[in-house]
A and B are shown apart, each in its own frame.
Chain A
């Protein structure tokens, strides 16, 4: 047989295209639908990593019971991100090398999402995230989809609740001086300015402070009638809360999510009674949140928190989106996620915007003698 130039060109084209066709065919034709997940199995956040994996698994089990994804059973492929930035880059690259994985779950930590973001963009497949840095969905990476309200909402919700619900106008703001605390403090200060109640004290502190006496005395002297806070570490929060009460400051206090964190409640004890916090997950906030709480308790035997609720929602929304798209094509999945509206999740109702943000508000919860009680949900539409 004589090899013509045309035959050679056709063969070359087929050879080059074959791996992509096979990859695509493998994903479509695989026995199961695979979802990759980077989670801190080891490292400082290993405990919260366990909760995150449990949340995702509970959602996946429900999806599989309801018929799976595109008629197939779904499967979770987990890689350890070691709670570090290099760790998550390595974990994601291992998962990305598996062509039959159709979408991924990233991290709850913004810094880790920033670290993996360039590889996500290169791969071009949807990645669900829990990091709350507003920039993550505003930096031109179309493959990141957020399942927690971003930080710009927490400041607005704290201000809104304190001014309009509690009726307090003289605010003291206390925030850590790291990226999280500074951004949160700024967002709260801006929201208060907008509501016509500029803060009478805006105080930063360095993480891992052993003593907050000067801060408490500054709050006392400022004449503030309400405190808004952004604490990064629970032990700082615990030390401050105790000293605040010991030195006789009993003004209302609305804090960022760490104020209702299980560890913070354990460390500070009664010093945090009657404080308020913004929480993306509150069990009594909706029927979907209650259902997740029950499902989680049945399996894990402890109360769930936002470490598990966001992964639960991410798997639920992603599965529904793939089913709606009718395909595992990344672009079609992306379109289906962005088209998700009024989806009842454990964290709230998902209404995705074009940036990839699914949630636009927070729950306000109250520490009622150590029990976290849902108070109200504040949603923003702008």
Chain B
């Protein structure tokens, strides 16, 4: 039982990281109908921004955190104007390829500045974790889980109970209709990119003390987060969260009870199973094509 509880905590912790990044995928997909393959690199860039301000410059952690998130908001603006906006009238394929190109550019730019060696970023807390009976709770994972829960509540409130949230929802559902109702579609898409970049950045900053800061950290998480969005139902906020958590728990238990080397395989096995038997995901609605 001790083993199960320990694995469950770790699985939920890792799953929460996937969920945070998956949330960014979903928000951009809902607003623009394209998948942003640079979402993982947003996490990586934010983590490196923390290294710049909190480690290299020695600024207070909270200040570095705010500046890093501010930097991510700016990156969201640049990304929207430089990658999405020029291609907004094209089909989804050129935009997806542009996001892949942008992810390569971001990764190599950071590589050129910082080199390939991973960096260390301290966590928020002095205490690395607490022992609760037989289970060790890593303080950073506790924080990640808490932030994920807070974001779920915030997203619900924001999208369902604020005018801006409703405008964003309207834009994601039907751009032409939203435009006819006087909503500035380009502004809404800009806001979505900013929010997604900040979310991705938040995930990167939170996970950096656990996984270290490296060029690959974003792509590794993003791949799982992408699988999580498909499992949860592409375009569904609750689905991204549930998909992420489920993936974290499945791969942790799979590694413990079946095979460690094939840990990543379990995540993608579940993904394939969903694509075959339930392509719309857990929360997605079935879309039928008319003959």
Does A246 contact B136, Cβ atoms closer than 8 Å?
yes
The complex places the Cα of A295 from the Cα of B281 at a distance, in Å, of 63
A246-B128, A247-B6, A267-B212 given; A238·B118 CB < 8 A: yes
The complex places the Cα of A214 from the Cα of B11 at a distance, in Å, of 10
Q: Mark B210-222, 1 if CB is under 8 A from A, else 0.
A: 1110101000110
List 23 contacting pairs A-B, 8 Å CB cutoff, sorted by A: A47-B116, A177-B261, A204-B260, A205-B261, A206-B262, A208-B220, A210-B221, A211-B252, A211-B255, A213-B7, A213-B10, A213-B252, A214-B7, A214-B256, A214-B260, A221-B3, A234-B118, A239-B212, A246-B129, A246-B136, A263-B117, A266-B120, A267-B212
Does A239 contact B256, Cβ atoms closer than 8 Å?
no
Q: Mark A228-267, 1 if CB is under 8 A from B, else 0.
A: 0000001100110010001110000000000000010011
The complex places the Cα of A215 from the Cα of B116 at a distance, in Å, of 26
Name the interface residues of A304-318: CB closer than 8 Å to any CB of B. Answer: none
Query: Does B94 belong to the interface (CB within 8 Å)?
Result: no
Name the interface residues of B235-291: CB closer than 8 Å to any CB of A. Answer: 252, 255-256, 260-264
Query: Does B73 belong to the interface (CB within 8 Å)?
Result: no
Interface size on B, residues (CB 8 A): 31
A214-B255, A246-B138 given; A203·B260 CB < 8 A: yes
Query: Does B170 belong to the interface (CB within 8 Å)?
Result: no
The complex places the Cα of A142 from the Cα of B6 at a distance, in Å, of 54
Query: Does A190 belong to the interface (CB within 8 Å)?
Result: no
Name the interface residues of B99-117: CB closer than 8 Å to any CB of A. Answer: 111, 115-117
Chain A residue with Cβ nearest B118: A235
Does B118 contact A267, Cβ atoms closer than 8 Å?
yes
Q: Give the shortest distance, in Å, between A273 (CB) and chain B (any CB).
A: 15
Partner of B216 from A208, A211, A266 at Cβ < 8 Å:
A208
Give 6 closest A-B pairs by Cβ, nearest first.
A214-B256, A214-B255, A44-B116, A213-B10, A204-B261, A235-B118
Q: Give the shortest distance, in Å, between A39 (CB) and chain B (any CB).
A: 15
Q: Mark A259-285, 1 if CB is under 8 A from B, else 0.
A: 000010011010000000000000000
Contacts of A204 in B (CB 8 A): 260-261
